[in-house]
Structure 1
Amino acid sequence: MTEHKMLSADELQEYIKNSACVHDVSLAGGDYQNINLEGIRFECIDARGAKFTAVNLNDSVWECCQLDNAIFSQCHIDNLYMTDCTLTDGNFFDTVLKKGLWSRCSAERLSFAQASLESTVWNACQFSDIRLTEAQFHNATWSACIFKDLQLDDCYLEKVRASDCDLNNACFRRSDLIQCAIERSVLNECIFSMNDLRYLSLYRSQCENSDFTHANMAFSILSESYFRHSTFTGANLTNANLNLMSLDAGDMSKTDLRYASCRRLKANLTSFVEARLDNADFHQAEFIDCDWRGVDRTSVRPIEEKRVAAEKWQPHL
């Protein structure tokens, strides 16, 4: 990127009178608060440390821009598009983002404190130590993203869909994930304890050494997922779907599994001490060296002998 003199707010406004595309200029350290940049396209811009507080950025496009330490606080932005941008130490405090697409962006310590994101899409982004304190996500989509040391404190996520993501070491503190899906993803060393995770889907995801202690996971979908050394102590898994789930050296003690569907579940060296199993369906489930102390195993749904026989039947040729 060629070195250029920084454009002032007045110079930038004069520039966009003649062109809707701002290309290869410097906005680094500039103060552009409260100006109208709606529909403007930014290409190869150096905007490190720039202030865009309360700026109209609706339908704006940012491509190959340096936005480290840039401030986008207190904005209300519809359809923000960012591609191949860097946003380390960027700040979207108290900003509302609706729709829009971020693709192949990267950042460390990017902050969305008290921000609201609705129907936004993050694709193939890499974020390290992203800050989401008191943030809200609605109908957001995360695809093939890497979140290193993700921190969510007092957040609310509803109908967020994450697929093929890496969320290792994510920590969800006092946060709710309602009807969210984190599928075909890796969630090792994660903390979900004490959170509201109703209807959460972890379909085909991998969780090792993760903590779901006392989480409300009613109606959750854990089918075809793999859990190793993970704990669900005291969790509410009523009406959950654990079909074809693998549980290795886990802790299900005092877990509420009433009416859960656990068909073909495989559990190895797992504790079910004092778990509640009323009307749980363990059709063709496999248990190896599990601990059942204090459990009424007669309370589970009766084995369907005819169904088992039908599934084992093979035609004679």
Structure 2
Amino acid sequence: MTTPLTQDALMARVDSGNPVRNVSLTRGDYRGIALRNVRFENVQAQGARFDAAQLENIRWQRCALDGVVFEGASLTDVQFTNCRGDGMKFDGAKLMRLSVQTSSWPRVSFVRASICRLQVLAGSLVNVNWQGAQIERVMLRKTDLSAQTGVDTLFDRFLAFDCVATATDFRGAQFTHCSFARSDLQESCFDKASGRALALAGCNLDRSSFAGARLEHPMFNRANLGAASFRGAELPRARFTAAHGKAVDFCDADLSRADFSHANIEVADFAGARMQQVCLHGARFGEARWDGADLSGARGDDPKQLICERWSPPPRPRQPLPGETR
């Protein structure tokens, strides 16, 4: 077994001004260390302890970081590229301007962490725990977020595009101007979540649950609702434009001023729903249950608008080829 560098030996490497490469930090104790402007390359750091460390402008490239502990640490302007990080712990850490690229980080814990400006590109964050964290200005693209735990987490401007986030637990989470556009969220749980302007446009929400959620002006445009449940949810001004589904439960939901324009749902249960001033223009429901629903002020098809939507310009006459007479 290779002996890890001591904290003094690591500082000596750093002070030389050269990248720290091809060394072992495995199970090393670097708690409370302060590092700035350092590049780590091909470093084996499994199980190392960086609790309460101060890390600024650090680059980790092609490093093995499985089980590394950053609990209570402060990380600013830190970049991870092509790094493994199974089971890392950032509990209670303060993370500012982090970048994670083509890295695999399963089972990472961010419990009660404060995260601002995190960017993840083509990475894997499977089974990550965000519980109780405060997350602001995060962008994830083409990232695997399956089996996340975001219970009671604060999400502010959390943007996830084209991601896989199946079986994710967002119970009691708070969302402010967040988007999961075109992401796969099937079998996810948003029960009793709250917030405003949550965008789920183009998402796969089959068998997801929003029971008891309180979301102001959420956007489900073109989403696959599948067999989603919105039972008892408060969704004023929700947009379900062109959404589609097979068996969707809206029982006792607040859908006042919601827009179902051109929605296509095979079986929909609106029993007891509050649907004042809802827009049903162009909507199609194969089977719908309306028992006890309040549809006062609801608007159905607008014939003139349908004519405009279905209009197409006449075909243009074929232009003659050079030298061809009409």
Same structural fold, with TM-score higher than 0.5 when normalized by the shorter chain: yes
Aligned-CA RMSD value: 1.6
Partner of 2:198: 200
Contact persistence 1:31–1:50 (CA under 8 A): yes
Offset, 1:45: 0.4
Match of 1:243 among 206, 227, 241: 241
Partner of 2:87: 89
> Which letter maps to 1:270?
A
Q: Secondary structure at the match of 1:289?
A: strand
1: distance between equivalents of 2:296 and 2:194? 30
Partner of 2:185: 187
CA distances 1:20-62 after superposition (whole Å, capped 9, x unpaired):
4100100111111222211100001011111112222111000
Q: Secondary structure at the match of 1:10?
A: helix
Matched, 1:289 2:287: yes
Deviates more, 1:211-220 or 1:146-155: 146-155
Matched, 1:98 2:96: yes
Q: Secondary structure at the match of 1:13?
A: helix
1: distance between equivalents of 2:220 and 2:231? 16
Partner of 1:162: 160
Q: Secondary structure at the match of 1:120?
A: strand
Offset, 1:4: 4.5
Offset, 1:311: 3.0
Contact persistence 1:278–1:301 (CA under 8 A): no
Partner of 1:132: 130
Deviates more, 1:123-132 or 1:181-190: 123-132
Q: Secondary structure at the match of 1:310?
A: helix
Contact persistence 1:117–1:138 (CA under 8 A): yes
Matched, 1:266 2:264: yes
Contact persistence 2:282–2:300 (CA under 8 A): no
Partner of 1:174: 172
> Which letter maps to 2:171?
R
Offset, 1:204: 0.6
CA distances 1:205-247 after superposition (whole Å, capped 9, x unpaired):
1111111011112201100111111100111121111111112
Cα 1:313/1:92, change in 2 over 3 Å? closer
Offset, 1:108: 2.8
Contact persistence 2:146–2:168 (CA under 8 A): yes
Partner of 2:320: none
In structure 1, the gaps of 5 or more residues are: none
2: distance between equivalents of 1:117 and 1:30? 26
Identity %: 26
Q: Secondary structure at the match of 2:217?
A: coil
Contact persistence 1:4–1:25 (CA under 8 A): no
Offset, 1:258: 0.9
Contact persistence 2:193–2:213 (CA under 8 A): yes
In structure 2, the gaps of 5 or more residues are: 316-326
2: distance between equivalents of 1:311 and 1:107? 47
Q: Secondary structure at the match of 2:308?
A: helix
Larger Rg: 2
Q: Secondary structure at the match of 1:58?
A: strand
Match of 1:52 among 50, 53, 68: 50
Q: Secondary structure at the match of 1:134?
A: coil
